[in-house]
């Protein structure tokens, strides 16, 4: 933990130095410049509106994506024969560049849906893979025990497979944080009314470098907070459900 904090501090210090002395040119502002720039009431309100829109998309994306990921993993657990089909479908969806999917979502779901849809898609894949792994995590000795006690498939799922998968599910929620935020921002590029993604695109097109980096920083902070919060839950789950 101490090493991690030190690493972050070093990174931030390097960023500040590079920005202050323009070591890599004018497109790299220092952190203090970004903070001072953002600290005016009108800009705070601008960032706030954008953050609220993106956070909402990330939240809904998590809900939809996690539910879909759990449903996919449950399908595979109940019908092992479907595994190959489901795995390949999930992998193909994940391998398709989201840029190509954005227009598709606009056609299918309407203009405002792309941020939630792309966030959900990214969350889905991570949750599907991690829960699938979790459902196979119970050691052989425990399966043998359940079989010897005559447990049905349903009771084995309920009392062995699902509890064994809980820590993996939370690992999945943690790992899904950055992809969820990136998905929401990318989705906002397809004509969302507001959001950090919208701010990033318009700042880029108008060469407002400091505004751009402020939005990027906010997006990173959202990622990091989610990542850390799910990390805490994950550790609790491992303490309870792990050996």
Partner 1 sequence: MHPSEQTGGRASHSAAISIRGVSKSFDLKGRPVAALDSISIDVADGEFVALLGPSGCGKSTLLRLMAALEEPSSGIIEIENRPAAELARSHRLGVAFQDHALLPWLSISDNVALPFRLAGLAVDHARVNELLSLVGLSEFAEARPKQLSGGMRQRASIARALALKPDVLLLDEPFGALDAVTRRHLNGELQRIWQQNSITTVLVTHSVDEALYLADRIVVLSGRPGRILRVVDVPFGRPRTREMTRSAEFHHLCDDLTDALRGLAEEVRAA
Are 127 and 172 a contacting pair, CB within 8 Å? yes
* Per rule CB under 8 A, count of chain residues that contact partner 1: 20
Q: Which of helix, strand or coil describes residue 4? A: helix
If the CB atoms of residues 43 and 143 are measured against partner 1, the closer one turns out to be: 143
Q: Is the dihedral of CA 10, 13, 19, 22 positive or negative?
A: negative
**Residue 141 CB, nearest distance to partner 1 (Å)?**
4
Binding mask 126-145 for partner 1 (x = CB under 8 A): -------------x-xx-xx
Which 50-109 positions form the footprint of partner 1 (CB under 8 A)? none
Which CB atom, from 48 or from 242, has the smaller least distance to partner 1? 242
Q: Are 162 and 104 in contact (CB under 8 A)?
A: no
DSSP string, 126-194: HHHHHHHHHHT-S-HHHHHHHHHTT--HHHHIIIIIHHHHHHHHHHHHHHTHHHHHHHHHHHHTTT-SS
Residue among 24, 44, 26 nearest 208 (CA): 26
Q: Pick from 27, 153, 155, 228 the residue near partner 1 by CB under 8 A.
A: 155
Least distance in Å: CB of 186 to partner 1?
38
Site string for partner 1, 22-61 (x = CB under 8 A): ----------------------------------------
- Name which of 144 and 204 has its Cβ closer to partner 1: 144
Considering only residues 151, 209, 216, 224, which one is a binding residue for partner 1 as defined by CB under 8 A? 151
CA distance 56 to 52: 6
By CB under 8 A, residue 110 contacts partner 1: no
Work out whether 242 is an interface residue with partner 1 (CB under 8 A).
Answer: yes
Interhelix angle for 2-20 vs 31-38, to 10°? 80
Stretch that binds partner 1, among 8-16, 82-90, 100-108, 152-160 (CB under 8 A): 152-160
Shortest gap between Cβ of 131 and partner 1 (angstroms)? 17
- Of residues 4, 243, 42, the one with CA closest to residue 139: 243
Q: Does 241 bind partner 1 (CB under 8 A)?
A: yes
Q: At what angle do helices 41-78 and 114-135 cross, to 10 degrees?
A: 40
Interface residue with partner 1 among 85, 89, 147, 220 (CB under 8 A) is: 147
Does 235 bind partner 1 (CB under 8 A)? Our answer is no
Per the CB < 8 A criterion, the answer to whether 120 and 68 are in contact is yes
Residues that bind partner 1 (CB under 8 A): 139, 141-142, 144-152, 155, 159-160, 163, 240-243
């Amino acid at each position: 933990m101490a090493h991690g904090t030190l690493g972050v501090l070093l990174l931030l210090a390097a960023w500040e130095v590079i920005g202050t002395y323009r070591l890599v040119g004018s497109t790299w502002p220092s952190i203090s410049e970004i903070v001072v720039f953002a600290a005016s009431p009108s800009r705070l309100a601008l960032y706030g509106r954008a953050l609220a829109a993106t956070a909402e998309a990330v939240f809904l994306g998590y809900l939809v994506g996690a539910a879909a990921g759990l449903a996919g993993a449950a399908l595979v657990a109940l019908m092992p024969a479907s595994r190959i089909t489901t795995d390949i479908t999930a992998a193909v969806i994940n391998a398709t560049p989201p840029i190509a999917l954005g227009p598709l979502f606009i056609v299918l779901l309407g203009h405002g849906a792309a941020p939630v849809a792309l966030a959900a898609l990214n969350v889905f894949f991570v949750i599907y893979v991690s829960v699938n792994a979790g459902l196979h995590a119970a050691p052989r000795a425990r399966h043998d025990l359940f079989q010897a006690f005559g447990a049905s498939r349903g009771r084995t799922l309920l009392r062995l497979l699902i509890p064994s998968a809980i820590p993996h599910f939370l690992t999945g929620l943690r790992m899904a944080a950055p992809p969820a935020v990136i998905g929401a921002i990318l989705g906002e590029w397809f004509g969302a009314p507001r959001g950090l993604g919208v701010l990033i695109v318009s700042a880029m097109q108008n060469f407002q470098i400091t505004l751009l980096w402020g939005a990027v920083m906010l997006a990173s902070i959202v990622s990091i907070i989610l990542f850390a919060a799910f990390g805490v839950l994950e550790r609790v789950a491992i303490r309870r459900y792990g050996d």
